[in-house]
Structure 1
Amino acid sequence: MFKVGIIGATGYVGVELLRLLLNHDKVTVTAISSSTFKDEEISSVYKSFFNKTTLVCKDKSDVIDKCDVIFTALPHGLSEEIAAEAISKNKKVIDLGADFRLECEDSYEEWYGKKFTCKDIHKNSIYGLPEFNGSKVKEFNIVANPGCYPTSISLGLMPLLKNNLINTKNIICDSKSGITGAGRGLSLKTHFAEANENFAAYGIGSHRHTPEIEQTLSYMANENVEVTFTPHLLPVNRGILSTIYCQPKDKLTLEEIHEIYKKQYENEEFVHVLPLGQTAEIKHVKYTNNCHISIHQNYRKNKIIIISVIDNMVKGAAGQAIQNMNLLLDLPQNTGLKLIAPSF
């Protein structure tokens, strides 16, 4: 059994990691940490773990010392030094924050207001979108787990970009996320009275996932890709639905586009291309590591419309991190992730 630990275990992403890892039959959760709830049992913070685990939140050093693989579920700017210490002790790190997602330090400083503090270790990290570069993950000691919006959008566009089928300068990504995407810390927009019976855009033209989306899509296309990305807050707990609009370079039938998508993802465990005529919906991927994609077309405007849905806490965060862990440990990607969405 591999020993794994979570630094930042009491945030929404950290506790989702713990929920999934406790059901993984190839790893043991050996240690967890929390700066807010240090020395408290996790079951006292989240009652769902009562009689399921006796893990106590300790210091981050305890996690590094006791574990083979460390998950860092922390705000940006806090994972670099932890990762540096961990890999100096021959540990593997999967970071669910933003510290290793952007390759360009100037871009990181522009969007996050910080410079890289441990510059040398970035060359030992990889952006871990398994369906795109999963074969390379185990060659690195640090995996940057993708953001939730970039995961939904990247999987939605990858077949078109890899096959050079669309204009890369006028892609529109219109995404909606459940409230858990904002994290456990309370803000005005996540108050019940503000979010309930409401639907609002935010981060318009300035959301921090924009450079990550463009960086990933540019690698897929092998040319510079520009997007107009607007996120929205849905009054639901979890889930992301991205509606993506793009212009094909040549006339393509809906059937031809659909075949391209099916071929791209035919061997992928977690990406499912729905039959033509069906529409991807959040409820069909909740609590799973799946991404559902449906293909549509506006014939009058010659536009391709892609709908891509994921659970922002699983495929968009904790589940994808475990998928990356499985790749690091040379385990089947679906180990611990054979999850089925509830029917209602």
Structure 2
Amino acid sequence: MPVLYNSAILSLVLAVAMAGGAVANPYEGLFAPPSPTGSTPEAPLTAAWSYPETVTPYPSTATPDEAPLMLESPTLAEPIPAGEEVGASDPEAVDVTVEVEAEPRWYYPSYWIQLPGWDTAVELGINGSSGTSDSFSIRTGGYLKRESDSRKVDFNIYLNRTQANGVETQNNAQMKFRHDWLLPESPWTVYGQTQLYYDRFQAFDLNMNLNGGLGYRVVDEDWLKLTGSFGAGTYREFGGPDDEWVPEAQFGFDYEQKLSETQKLTASLDYYPEWEDFSQYRMLTEIAWEVELATPSNVSLKFAANNRHDSDPQGANPNNFNYSVLLLWKL
């Protein structure tokens, strides 16, 4: 009680003194309006003591909820894309995705035959009947292809056999190899090729030709390729009436076009006239249409036809025409 009484008396004395001007108001001048331009405001009288300044950001005396932290930088505000998260220990770490090629299953030929860089395939077509007449026909073959910046290699082989009522009516086979040396930054190529042909029902045992010359890539795009060739060489019909080497010229073209992502059309023509008499010639034509199947992915349906024409068949049929529907199995 004495403390409260003394405090009350002290407060009363201060109030009377300030009213009379004896003691300056410690708060006077703190909220005074600004002085006119060019005048120097008088320094306010202050007491030896003062209350601490307080800033109230909200009009209410209640403690507000903590304001959320806002990121003003647009770079930091953007979410970090998936796969680009960085660890605390390495702020410059970059996510690297490593693709591991699935190993082919055991029933894929590539599981057993490894030929890196080569385009390889085998083909098979079978036809038969039984009843009033018995017949069986088979065509099989395959190819090996490879192309680089400096060369192009193409090897293919096929065999046709047909039997009707136990009697063989067709038996022929062909092997062809061609090597192109691609000239740098030029559409020209230098090529060499050889071809072996066997037919049981022809007047010879084996036909062989060797040729070489120049090729020109008229069109060389991913979806369309057209190459013309001209050269010279020689051929021989072993076991035939004219069993000797005969010089000949060679003109031809190779055509390949992707009709769509799953279809491809190929065609070729080779014309071989004898140098001494252009009326004596051989002409080989081939055409094929391939359609890739969805399942399995390495199998295509192939429609093919080829014809061999000989202007001097030695008493046999001048044309040997074959057509087939095959399954092409890429290795």
What TM-score range do you get, normalising by the shorter chain? under 0.3
The structure with higher relative contact order (CA 8 Å, sep 6+) is 1
Bigger strand fraction? 2
Bigger helix fraction? 1
Larger Rg belongs to? 2
TM-score, normalised relative to structure 1 = 0.27
